[in-house]
Structure 1
Amino acid sequence: MPDEPSENISGGPGGGGQTTAFEAADPSSATRAEVVVDRLGDRYWRKAYGGQGGFECLVRTILSQNTSDKASQPAHDTLMARYGGSSDLAESLAAADREELVDAIRSAGLYNQKSKLIIGVAEEVLADFGSEGDFDRYVREASPSAVRSRLLEMKGVGPKTADCVLLFAGGRGGIFPVDTHVHRISRRLGLAPADADHEAVREYLERDVPAEKCGFGHTAMIQFGREFCTARKPACLDGPEACPMADVCEQVGVSPETGDVVDPSEAVKSD
């Protein structure tokens, strides 16, 4: 995995969305997941997302698959500079020469596969919706369940990609995309069962975090995963004072006493 940037592209002052005040819950009556998200908001940001173009967001998220923001952001910028000048990005990409598209997105990795997927979704959007604008409107206005189901029918679009489009383009509340950081952290903290897959983690988080807090919960948890709860060396190995979540974490799969760190699902198997 390429080095992560210091800040994920959806957080902080330059990451899109609108800084918004959300009231912190009373810890004595809130779910532990909401307590965690409130604390993440205190440390990083509280934002309301939405407003990105649905098709552009879809393309951006495909570029981000299996790589970091540091690698995918330049690919997105080059793609937009080359193909985004027309009124309809989907038309430009559907008609793109694949080798030229490969050259534009090379920094994102898996460029042969991703170029095929991007051209494919562009063709599908035009065939089924007529234009990029009509697709964007569908993402904003149709029911979230219908949009998610339709996106999942597209080749190369998985649950995390579909949820990111719903969140960042559709501005839908109650959507908590689960990437590798969110999947790891939620199970380490004990917010979801240790053996839960990505979809099960999403269901637990969307059940236990208020709808309006899911968006910044997602982006801030990613940042927490980069700074503190990394895959191989979580901060708690240096002692409870090193991690701001120590008092609400079950440390599933992490043993500060021995320094051992395993995936939470492996910890359950060894019990």
Structure 2
Amino acid sequence: MPEEPAENISGGDGGGGTPAAFAPGEADSRAEAVVDELGRMYWQKAYGGQDAFECLVRTILSQNTSDVASQPAHDALMERYAGRADLAEALADAERAALAETISSAGLYNQKSEMILGAAERICDEFGGADGFDDFVKDEDPGAVRDRLLDIHGVGPKTADCVLLFAGGRGGVFPVDTHVHRIARRMGLAPADADHEGVREALERDVPAEKCGFGHTAMIQFGREYCSARKPACLDGPEACPLYDLCDRVGVDEVDETVVDPSTAEE
């Protein structure tokens, strides 16, 4: 099995978790078959154990940018503010301009610094700091945790689900980023016009709970290596994509070598 690509924060060195191989067996759905095939290509890991507040900050930094850009911002933030016992308290007291400068490599740093400061203040007010928030994420009902996270400014469904998965270790959570949203609809694992929540619901329904977290990270890497937005590997022929036989290729015209968003593909 190849080593984990370090640039994928979700599944790479910063992802936490422990090895957890599973025997693919006979899949009960095409979505599960896809995840099992990805298991033959990439790593398998059970997630959980990250500090919940740091995970939240890391995921906010990764919004609308690559891991290559957000990782240095995360490292710089931790170097500057993690010296205190409680990271949430340190960031709640931070000066916004200084924080924005610290995370500038992540892009949209003014917006993200405001989101992080606001989240830190909420968590200190409602949970007494990072430790109380960590206990809440790991011990409370996942639905209640997700709703509470979504109530924080700047936290959308993908960010909330990443905290549930990587910090809470919750099974059955399949975060949907741009790669997962594109690939699931292109392959026909979710309706072509499904929004991010629709894709999440379809995948969490059809992929066993213990495989959802791994499916998320593996599908991201598959999107980077094979199923890109503009030139998926199948345009080079069936042999170029290892998942060709499991894919409907919605929006992909192999003859004309054109690609459109699945939601705009003709019936």
TM range (shorter): over 0.9
> Residues 162-214 of structure 1, C-alpha deviation per residue, up to 9 Å, x if partnerless?
00000000000000000000000000110000000000000000000000000
Unmatched runs of 5 consecutive residues or more in structure 1? none
Aligned residues: 263
> Residues 75-98 of structure 1, C-alpha deviation per residue, up to 9 Å, x if partnerless?
000000000111100000000011
Aligned partners of 1:20, 1:78: CA distance in 2, in Å?
Answer: 31
Aligned partners of 1:131, 1:76: CA distance in 2, in Å?
Answer: 19
Of the three residues 37, 40, 57, the one matched with 2:38 is: 40
Q: Spell out the pairing of 1:61-140 with structure 2 (5 A cutoff).
A: 61-140=59-138
| C-alpha RMSD over aligned residues | 1.2
DSSP 3-state at the match of 1:194: coil
Of the three residues 127, 149, 155, the one matched with 1:151 is: 149
User: In the alignment, which residue of structure 1 is the partner of 2:164?
Assistant: 166
In the TM superposition, what is the alpha-carbon distance from 1:14 to its structure 2 partner? 6.1
- Contact 1:190-1:249 at 8 Å conserved across structures: yes
In the TM superposition, what is the alpha-carbon distance from 1:12 to its structure 2 partner? 4.5
> Residues 99-130 of structure 1, C-alpha deviation per residue, up to 9 Å, x if partnerless?
11011100000000000000000000011111
User: In the alignment, which residue of structure 2 is the partner of 1:31?
Assistant: 29
Aligned partners of 1:170, 1:194: CA distance in 2, in Å?
Answer: 31
Unmatched runs of 5 consecutive residues or more in structure 2? none
Percent identical pairs in the alignment equals 70
Aligned partners of 1:216, 1:263: CA distance in 2, in Å?
Answer: 25
Distance verdict in 2 for CA 1:143–1:14, change over 3 Å: closer
- Contact 2:172-2:208 at 8 Å conserved across structures: yes
TM superposition outliers: structure 1 runs of 4+ over 6 Å: none
- Contact 1:12-1:45 at 8 Å conserved across structures: no
User: In the alignment, which residue of structure 2 is the partner of 1:8?
Assistant: 8
DSSP 3-state at the match of 2:103: helix
> Residues 221-241 of structure 1, C-alpha deviation per residue, up to 9 Å, x if partnerless?
000000000000000000000
User: In the alignment, which residue of structure 2 is the partner of 1:220?
Assistant: 218
Calculate the TM-score normalised by the size of structure 2: 0.96
Calculate the TM-score normalised by the size of structure 1: 0.95
